[in-house]
Amino acid sequence: MQPTDSKRIPDPEMSQDEMKALQRQIADAACWQDTLSVNPEMIRWEPTETTKDTTQKTIDSSTSTTDIPNQDADETQPLVAGVDQAFRTEQSEVISAIVLTRGATVVDRIVAVTDLSIPYIPGLLSFREGGPILAAFEEISQKPDITMFDGSGRMHYRQAGLATHIGVVLDIPTIGVAKSLLCGTPESDTAQRPTGWQTQINADETVEDADTETVIGHALQTRQYDSRKIINPVYVSPGHRVSATTAVKITQALCDGYKLPEPTRRADAYADEIKREYSDN
């Protein structure tokens, strides 16, 4: 996959003011309504005995290998991509993993190993991680129907988190699933909630160009213990071409008893697997 909007590719050489200005342009270009090519009700996670992780495609500056694709996937199921990263801090490298699934069947796994250009700057994550993620997307041969990111979408100071930025650049439906709340105000207290509970997140004074009635996402309790309620919710926000309501419905449908939804959980595991392989070698 190649960007459809190359002028908005995150450039780590920009000044922070230029980065913020580009994020405002991204927010203006983003669509927070449902324009998916599939019925979101079809997107679900149904593990079977034939579920496999049998495919792998790995790229870096010197290596490119491809295994035989998994032929067991139900082609009627929407194609969902999960995106996450791992970091090799000693080498200043980032491992960007994408896992593609239909239902619960993994049909492809891609990873790009690239250099990190800038340090972490709160609110400007896409300029640190966006380029490496786009390098991995270049190796995808099938356009996903929905893509989930470990990070924010509209739930961002300038309404343009990682999921929104990459969604606009590639013009694909995206969802951000963050482990912590970057900004906004939950409509209800999020502490000690049961599995399946959710509440909307409204914009607050830290969110530019949005009034306090603007729904920028949801807190979703994806897992909880009955005896001791200590797991915090995840924070789901629309990235691009998905509404806040549909984003949280899809995220809940793709959970399988863990805190993280399966697409990003598997991408996280795959990125860590590649990191261990590099360490062993």
- Residue 219 burial by Cβ neighbours in a 10 Å radius (0-12, 13-18, 19+): buried
Residue 225 within any structural domain of the chain: no
The helix/strand/coil state of 272 is: helix
Predicted TM-score (pTM) of the model is 0.91
CATH (domain of 32): 3.30.2170.10
Residue 198 within any structural domain of the chain: no
Residue 254 within any structural domain of the chain: yes
Query: What Å distances lie between residue 265 and 10, 117, 177, 216, 228, CA to CA?
Result: 25, 25, 11, 23, 23
Q: Find where tokens 């893509």 sit.
A: 147
Residue 14 within any structural domain of the chain: yes
Residue-wise over 66-103: b if at least 16 C-beta within 10 A, else e?
eeebbeebeeebbbbbbbbbbeeeeeebbbbbbbbbbb
Q: What pLDDT, on a 0 to 100 scale, did the predictor assign at position 157?
A: 97
Question: Alpha-carbon distance 236 to 180, whole Å?
Answer: 10
Strands 93-102 and 57-59: unpaired
Q: What pLDDT, on a 0 to 100 scale, did the predictor assign at position 47?
A: 67
Q: Which residues contact 254 (CB under 8 A, 6 or more apart)?
A: 43, 44, 45, 80, 148, 261, 262, 263
Residue 196 within any structural domain of the chain: no
Q: Which of 268, 8, 265 is nearest to 127 (CA)?
A: 8
Please list the pLDDT of the chain residue by residue as tens digits (281 residues): 999 988 999 999 999 999 999 999 999 999 999 999 999 999 988 765 444 444 444 445 433 333 434 546 677 899 999 999 999 877 789 999 999 999 999 999 999 999 988 888 999 999 999 999 999 999 998 999 999 999 999 999 999 999 999 999 999 999 999 999 999 999 999 999 999 999 999 999 999 999 999 999 999 999 998 777 889 999 999 999 999 999 999 999 999 999 999 999 999 999 999 999 988 77
Binding residue ranges: 84, 150
The helix/strand/coil state of 278 is: helix
Contact 83, 267 (CB under 8 A): yes
Q: What pLDDT, on a 0 to 100 scale, did the predictor assign at position 89?
A: 76
Binding residue ranges for Mg(2+): 84, 150
Tokens representing residue 143 in the block: 């356009």
Question: Alpha-carbon distance 203 to 270, whole Å?
Answer: 34
The helix/strand/coil state of 38 is: coil
Q: What pLDDT, on a 0 to 100 scale, did the predictor assign at position 218?
A: 98
Residue 79 within any structural domain of the chain: yes
Residue 217 within any structural domain of the chain: no
Angle at CA 265, nearest 5°, toward 129 and 168? 40
Residue-wise over 181-192: b if at least 16 C-beta within 10 A, else e?
bbbbebeeebee
Name the residue type at position 123: G
Domain count, the chain: 1
Domain boundaries, position 153: 6-175+239-280
Q: What pLDDT, on a 0 to 100 scale, did the predictor assign at position 90?
A: 74
Q: Which residues contact 91 (CB under 8 A, 6 or more apart)?
A: none
Q: What is the DSSP letter of 259?
A: S
Q: What pLDDT, on a 0 to 100 scale, did the predictor assign at position 226?
A: 79
Contact 207, 159 (CB under 8 A): yes
Query: What is the phi/psi pair of residue 214, to 5°?
Result: -75, 125
Contact 63, 57 (CB under 8 A): no
Residue 92 within any structural domain of the chain: yes
